Amino acid sequence: MNAEIGALAATAIGISCLHTVTGPDHYVPFIALSKARNWKLGKTIWWTIVCGIGHVGSSIILGLIGIALGWQIKKLTGLEDVRGGLAAWALLVFGTLYLIYGIRQAYLNRAHKHFDVYDDNSVYVYEHKHGEAPVYPQQRTKVTPWILFIIFVLGPCEPLIPLLTFPAVEQSPAGILLVAGVFTLFTLITMVGMVLLGYFGFSFLQTGKMEKYVHAIGGASITICGAGMVFWGW
């Protein structure tokens, strides 16, 4: 494994963990369902992993866009000798674009999902913006394990697109598998870890306040990684 892929894998670990911890929807619904339905620990972990795989699986499918873009960039002629390497520049450019996207998302205060538990031990999901009044009960959807799975499948993690661009430009299947594998593994580990903390009654820091900035933070991390490869020889 060369230094560039190692740096990219480290970035993938950081983003996957941060994305999960700062997104309460990655663990709160499993804790709520577990308590509401008196699930045993094994069942709670099972559904966490199943939904996590669905979430990351759809993210990897989205990441195929990055692979396709990388393969096309590699076909461009006259750019092979660009300082820092074409793949590193591709990572820097796409990381910067993702950073801009993240800043815009935070500025626009896009709606995100919230989960509530009612007195009848039912769990409901609804979309909500920071600073808005609560959503009326009739606008909420009752959550079952399979509905939760669908929610996770339909909510992929966008950072995989720029992360997979670098190994795609390098035409490195091993690099693509490593980055995708690391991202998957640490997303699942972090999800299960946060669920276990909640299952055993530990309270969380107010990570939800960072939720709307997660794309901007992820974009900044990828941009720094790309800049390090281009300018500092990482």
Please tell me the predicted confidence (pLDDT) of residue 83. Answer: 45
Q: pLDDT value at position 52?
A: 92
138 found inside a domain: no
**Alpha-carbon gap, residue 91 to 101, rounded angstroms:** 15
Q: Which of 115, 117, 104 is nearest to 36 (CA)?
A: 117
Q: State the residue range of the domain holding 92.
A: 3-109+154-231
Q: What is the 8-class DSSP label of residue 205?
A: P
Q: What is the pLDDT of residue 116?
A: 65
* Cα-based torsion angle of the residue sequence 59, 61, 66, 68 in order, rounded to the nearest 10 degrees: 180
Residues of the chain with pLDDT under 50: 77, 83-84
- Token couple for 190: 């972090």
Q: What is the count of structural domains for the chain? A: 1
